[in-house]
Structure 1
Amino acid sequence: MTRSNLIGGEMLNWSDLRPGDARPAAAGPAAGALLAATLTADDTVLLAGPHAVELVSAVAAQVASVDLLVRSAPDAEELAELLDDVKGQVFCGSVDRFAADDKSGVGDGYDVLVALDGLERLVGPDTAGFSWADGLARLTGLLKPGGRLLLGATNAFGFERLVQPDITAALPRDEDWGRDVADRAPAGFKPLVTALRTAGFDNEVAYAVFPSLVQAEVAVTSVEGFAAVVAARAVAARNEGPVLMDPYRVVLDAAAAGLAFELAPAWYFVVGAAAPATLPEGVVPEGEGVLLEEHLLTALRSDDQATLRRTIPSYVAWLGTGGAGSPDNVILDGSAYRLFGDAQELDVVGHLRRFAQRALDSGSRQPWPAAADPHALTARLAAMAGITVPEQEFSPDEVVRPRGSAEQLATVARLADELAHASARAILFEGTVSGIRRSRPYRVGHAVLNPARVIRRRLKRVLRKVRRR
């Protein structure tokens, strides 16, 4: 029977599984895929820190025995009941109180140590001066020689810092009591790797995790190509409200600059275990090519209308043969197209309209000033493939503003510049026309080309003089 053992430093009126004002436990399909890929049926495992109930259940069903180390007393009781038929124990308290002789049934140590939530939530508020490095040393001392480590870490300067404008997110939560900076994970990927090497680990495999440790949708060893698109989608889905910059474009631009891995919201480190390059498996497509949306946006930004007029008809023809994907989930490989993700039940105009909407959302430069709303841009793109989009009454709802504040400001600046140039041209044109009208050649030509009007005006003058007499 599984038991809950109080070891000291436990939090009696607190829950990491169901927090009121704190982040939830580590979870997500990428976390589950990592555990499934690295654990074996003969393993003895220590699961340290808050992990979602489904992850705990998956580990318990996969290994020989599993012990849990959590700081929340209510969580410990709940997990003890969950693991009633599993070989192992639940330890409740802070990691600094967890001694080697507390574990039972694991001989000289555990085969695998799992801490996908990181190390910060392995201590409570009454533990002071216990650094992140101390926590790592304490846990790794519980591993067998040659044991495996699965460790998560949150990035202190990830994409969230670049795209999230909500200042309330920076306010301290209930769990953010005053702690020394050393109690947190080293800031940055390279310092984390250095800390692991200092602790005696090497040959680690690192994953960039998106969009967070508590919502790990995907983890990849390299944020390039289509993996960057998958990561960008995960980050954009997490930031649906007002943002400083468009999350989707920020991730793709960072990937193009080779910075997306270092700016990832979090990382997994796997030491001593073989694991696939992408978690969960199969989310990143294989093969060559480029996302059709990126190809078209590049053409828009550079006013490459030849590419647009060549690609749009080809894409529409592909849709006519049974293709069912919008440009944001279709891969262009030379002149061939293939689906990236789920099929979308839209007609041809619907697919083009989706691209127009996303292009305007991203604040991408448009080569046509008149195409300022989705309908106008859709109609122009459809016309390149010989498709006429029915006219619609203009609605204010049709106007699309870029998602990010930075893109909005850039768009305002661009439109103001275009308006200033247009006003200057209008003033110049008006002055030119006025000068032409005052010139003798214009008056002579006007008299020659409009004799009836000239005679009529002169007759009116003569008649006015006669009446006055």
Structure 2
Amino acid sequence: MTRSNLIGGEMLNWSDLHPADARPAAAGPAATALVTATLQPDDTALIAGPHAAELITHAADTATSVDLIVRSAPDAEELAELLDDAKGQVFCGSLDRWSGDETYDVIVALDGLERLVGPDTATLPWAEALRRLTARLRPGGRLLLGAENAFGFQRLIQPDIAAALPRDEDWGRDIADRAPAGLKPLRVALGDAGLQVPQTYAVFPSLIQADVALASTEGFAAVVAARAVASRNEGPVLMDPYRLVLDAAEAGMAIELAPAWYFVIGAEVPAVLPEDVVPEGEGVLLEEHLFAALRSDDQAELRRAIPAYVAWLGTGGAGSPDNVILDGGTYRLFGEPQDLDVVEHLERFARRSLESGLRQPWPAAADPHQLTARLASMAGITVPEQKFRRSEVVRPQGSAEQLTTVARIADELAHASARAILFEGTVSGLRRSRTYQVGHRVLGPARAVRRRIKRARWKVKKAVRKVLR
């Protein structure tokens, strides 16, 4: 039977499992997959810090015994009741007050080390917290450690407005209590603690919602990471999250800029968590192939690729360009099929290209319907007017892309204005030329005679109609 033990420094009126104004506990499919890949049936495990109840019960179902250390007294009581049929103990309080001599085969601290103490602890340096935790690791044991990135994609995507409004848990702490800033300093700190260079995962989109963890962001892994980050940043952003992650991966910086990391010490685990979320094989995302053609104004490639893609849809294909892999002349799905018709697939691509602020090879326009009709015409498809209810303007998602689009439109307007001025000057020059003057004098009387003849004919026709009545 699981018991709850108060060890000192516990927070009586606080919950990390059900926070009112604080971060939730660490959770997500990647966190659960990592625990699953690490724990063995004969292991004794310690889960240190706030972790989702689902992850804790999963570990309790796998290992021989699971102990917990949490700082929240209500959480400790809830978890002790949840694990009533499991073997283990719940220690409630701060890590620096824990004086027992228990050791473990596996220690899970995927939330990091910062939330292992409460406000009663004046200071507990991160390195000291790591030392205290690893002292409970048995020889040959395994450690799963999480850490947030102080300068990750989140700093580049959204303005840090929340930092000016402290949450309930943001009491004053010594700067040394936080994890070292940056991947390299973290690895150095782990080495200084006597831990061998760990296997490192980049965690997306955050430590508290780890949808995917990747040892590498090469190939389609970068797309998986980009989708995870974009899914958590649907509101106003500084830059397009999806595009930012892909560009960082192309530059080899996606791991360093990841929102968080997992460090795995002493365990053999897959390169991707959860497994099978990254497609295997060669090829390129069809959307990226089309985007590349748009950037380089390669309309010939667009007129080749769009009809080929539409032909594939006609054979039963069911994927928009953002979840179809192009491998030479073949296509395969990247994810679940989409129940859309051909025009709707093209409209989805048009909308995504406008939301990303991508350069268009045609005059600037923010109407996805017009762009869809243009793309459909390349495959010989005429889009009826009633297909779209009304005209719609799609603005780039990121502020940076919006400014770029405004600059591009301003440049196009400047060029159009310059051409209009040039044309007006050319016309004015022609009117002042001798040839124009001679022609005007010759043709002027002829035009006057022609107007008189037309008026006479009209009068005759009017008189005839009056007689006939």
Query: Which TM bucket (shorter chain)?
Result: over 0.9
Question: Residues 15 and 370 (structure 1 numbering): CA distance in 2 closer, same or farther, change over 3 Å?
Answer: closer
Of 359, 364, 389, 2:358 maps to 364
Question: Residues 397 and 235 (structure 1 numbering): CA distance in 2 closer, same or farther, change over 3 Å?
Answer: farther
Q: CA deviation at 1:443?
A: 2.4
- CA offset digits 1:232-275 (Å, max 9, x no partner): 11111101111011111111111111111100000000000010
Question: Residue 191 of structure 2 contacts residue 197 of structure 2 at CA under 8 Å; is this kept in 1?
Answer: no
- 1:40-439 counterparts in 2 under 5 A? 40-101=40-101, 103=102, 109-165=103-159, 167-168=161-162, 170-369=164-363, 371-391=365-385, 398-439=392-433
- CA offset digits 1:92-122 (Å, max 9, x no partner): 0100111243x3xxxxx21001000000000
Q: 2-side partners of 1:170 and 1:158: how far apart?
A: 18
Q: Secondary structure at the match of 2:420?
A: helix
Question: Residue 353 of structure 1 contacts residue 375 of structure 1 at CA under 8 Å; is this kept in 2?
Answer: yes
CA RMSD of aligned residues (A): 1.8
Q: CA deviation at 1:438?
A: 1.8
Q: CA deviation at 1:371?
A: 4.4
Question: Residues 201 and 405 (structure 1 numbering): CA distance in 2 closer, same or farther, change over 3 Å?
Answer: same
Q: CA deviation at 1:27?
A: 0.3
Q: Secondary structure at the match of 1:177?
A: coil
Question: Residue 369 of structure 2 contacts residue 391 of structure 2 at CA under 8 Å; is this kept in 1?
Answer: no
Q: CA deviation at 1:146?
A: 1.1
Of 442, 446, 458, 2:436 maps to 442
Q: Secondary structure at the match of 1:81?
A: helix
What is the one-letter code of the residue matched to 1:324?
Answer: A
Q: 2-side partners of 1:93 and 1:401: how far apart?
A: 50
Q: CA deviation at 1:162?
A: 0.5
Question: Residues 370 and 143 (structure 1 numbering): CA distance in 2 closer, same or farther, change over 3 Å?
Answer: closer
Question: Residues 171 and 19 (structure 1 numbering): CA distance in 2 closer, same or farther, change over 3 Å?
Answer: same
Q: 2:3 — aligned with what?
A: 3
What is the one-letter code of the residue matched to 2:310?
Answer: V
Q: 2-side partners of 1:212 and 1:456: how far apart?
A: 80
Q: 2-side partners of 1:169 and 1:412: how far apart?
A: 30
Q: 2-side partners of 1:395 and 1:83: how far apart?
A: 55
Q: 2-side partners of 1:361 and 1:166: how far apart?
A: 22
- CA offset digits 1:192-239 (Å, max 9, x no partner): 111111111114110000001110000000112111111111111101
Q: Secondary structure at the match of 1:398?
A: coil
What is the one-letter code of the residue matched to 1:67?
Answer: D
Q: TM-score, normalised by structure 1?
A: 0.94
Q: CA deviation at 1:445?
A: 3.0
Identity of counterpart residues, as a percentage?
Answer: 78
Question: Residues 393 and 448 (structure 1 numbering): CA distance in 2 closer, same or farther, change over 3 Å?
Answer: farther
Question: Residue 367 of structure 2 contacts residue 391 of structure 2 at CA under 8 Å; is this kept in 1?
Answer: no
Q: CA deviation at 1:128?
A: 1.6
Q: Secondary structure at the match of 1:99?
A: coil
Question: Residue 185 of structure 1 contacts residue 192 of structure 1 at CA under 8 Å; is this kept in 2?
Answer: yes
- 1:15-26 counterparts in 2 under 5 A? 15-26=15-26
Q: 2-side partners of 1:438 and 1:392: how far apart?
A: 50
Q: TM-score, normalised by structure 2?
A: 0.94
Q: CA deviation at 1:169?
A: 5.1
Q: CA deviation at 1:191?
A: 0.6
What is the one-letter code of the residue matched to 2:144?
Answer: L
**Higher mean Cα deviation, 170-179 or 278-287?**
170-179
- CA offset digits 1:373-393 (Å, max 9, x no partner): 101111111111111111359
Q: 1-side partners of 2:435 and 2:389: how far apart?
A: 48
Q: 1-side partners of 2:164 and 2:300: how far apart?
A: 47
Question: Residues 166 and 242 (structure 1 numbering): CA distance in 2 closer, same or farther, change over 3 Å?
Answer: farther
Question: Residue 187 of structure 2 contacts residue 197 of structure 2 at CA under 8 Å; is this kept in 1?
Answer: no
- CA offset digits 1:24-81 (Å, max 9, x no partner): 0000001011111111001000100000000000000000011000000000000111
Q: Return structure 1 stretches of 4+ with deviation > 2 angstroms.
A: 168-171, 391-397, 443-451, 454-458
Question: Residue 228 of structure 1 contacts residue 252 of structure 1 at CA under 8 Å; is this kept in 2?
Answer: yes
5+ long unaligned stretches in structure 2: 453-469
Q: 1-side partners of 2:143 and 2:375: how far apart?
A: 53
- CA offset digits 1:131-186 (Å, max 9, x no partner): 00000000000011111000000000011100113613552211111001110000
What is the one-letter code of the residue matched to 2:72?
Answer: S
Q: 1-side partners of 2:306 and 2:388: how far apart?
A: 25
Q: 2-side partners of 1:269 and 1:172: how far apart?
A: 29
Question: Residue 355 of structure 2 contacts residue 396 of structure 2 at CA under 8 Å; is this kept in 1?
Answer: yes
Q: 2-side partners of 1:372 and 1:31: how far apart?
A: 40
What is the one-letter code of the residue matched to 1:317?
Answer: A
Q: Secondary structure at the match of 1:139?
A: helix
- CA offset digits 1:333-371 (Å, max 9, x no partner): 111110001100000000000000000000000011164
Q: 2-side partners of 1:8 and 1:26: how far apart?
A: 23
Q: 2-side partners of 1:372 and 1:439: how far apart?
A: 43
Question: Residues 159 and 170 (structure 1 numbering): CA distance in 2 closer, same or farther, change over 3 Å?
Answer: farther
Q: 2-side partners of 1:13 and 1:407: how far apart?
A: 45
Q: CA deviation at 1:450?
A: 5.8
**Higher mean Cα deviation, 19-28 or 361-370?**
361-370
Question: Residue 100 of structure 1 contacts residue 142 of structure 1 at CA under 8 Å; is this kept in 2?
Answer: no
